[in-house]
Structure 1
Amino acid sequence: MQKYCLALDLNNHPDLIAEYIDYHKNVWPEIQKSIKDSGIINLEIYNVGDRLFMIMETDDNFSFAEKAKLDAENPKVQEWETLMWKFQKALPQAKSGEKWILMDKIFELK
């Protein structure tokens, strides 16, 4: 199993942030299926202000490249992603079209 942490910012408008959170209380079933089908075992999103953190636990076969390929071929995922861009803004480190940025782990208490 692998664990990843990613970050993303939201447009800093209280109504948009509230709407984004509401969408994530009822994520479309097709989106949940696409997440599971890609090898993601658990996925959590945390929010503070306009910042989001995502923690993903994946099986050993998970690949970001394969997930991106599957998402690009799935019209429902593309519909969801287009809708979510209304709320999201890319971090300064993001490449063109990139949303969630993989974070580097700098500490772990064992």
Structure 2
Amino acid sequence: MTQKQGYPAKSYSVPTKRYCQTLSLKDNPALIAEYRKIHSRAESWPEIREGIRSIDILEMEMYICGTQVFMIVETPLDFDWDTAMEELSHLPRQQEWEDYVARFQECVPGSTSSQKWKLMERMFYLYDE
């Protein structure tokens, strides 16, 4: 389903920054459909959502186009990516989740989230005039 109206963005009471990441899925329509399903509100693991929030991630959104998944992570300005990802990798069920979703992803088995997802570099924005 394509939304042509755009997606609402949350507002926060603190200044934020965002990280953008991408990863590739295996080119298998049945696996991609299942990957989408396990990320739904009904199917995603509560411990994983709680863990993401516990490391001060304010919002995480994933978008898909074919076999490419794009993630936007919204954080407070003082968020330290490397420290947070290290903490996340040791939270309950996190590696179990990573191993579970790895069967859908083009990645090395046993990889952590930060090893699978590739941070993207911003190359354009509407520059201040």
TM range (shorter): 0.7 to 0.9
Unaligned runs of 5+ in 1: 91-96
1:84 counterpart residue number: 101
Deviation at 1:72, TM superposition (A): 2.7
Q: Which of 36, 50, 53 is the equivalent residue of 2:53?
A: 36
Q: Which of 18, 39, 49 is the equivalent residue of 1:3?
A: 18
2:80 counterpart residue number: 63
1:16 counterpart residue number: 31
Aligned CA RMSD, in angstroms, stands at 1.9
Give secondary structure in 2 for the equivalent of 1:65: helix
Structure possessing the higher relative contact order (Cα contacts under 8 Å, 6 or more residues apart) = 1
Q: Is the 8 A contact 1:42 1:58 kept in 2?
A: yes
Deviation at 1:14, TM superposition (A): 0.4
TM-score, reference length from structure 2: 0.75
Q: State the Cα deviation string for residues 9-65 of structure 1 (Å, max 9, x = none).
A: 000100110110000003211100111111110110000000000001001232222
- Which protein has the bigger strand share? 1
- % identical aligned pairs: 38
Please, which moves more after superposition, 61-70 or 41-50? 61-70
Q: Is the 8 A contact 2:47 2:92 kept in 1?
A: no
Q: Is the 8 A contact 2:52 2:88 kept in 1?
A: no
Deviation at 1:69, TM superposition (A): 2.1
User: What amino acid is the match of 1:14?
Assistant: P
Bigger-Rg structure (1/2): 2
Unaligned runs of 5+ in 2: 1-15
Give secondary structure in 1 for the equivalent of 2:124: coil
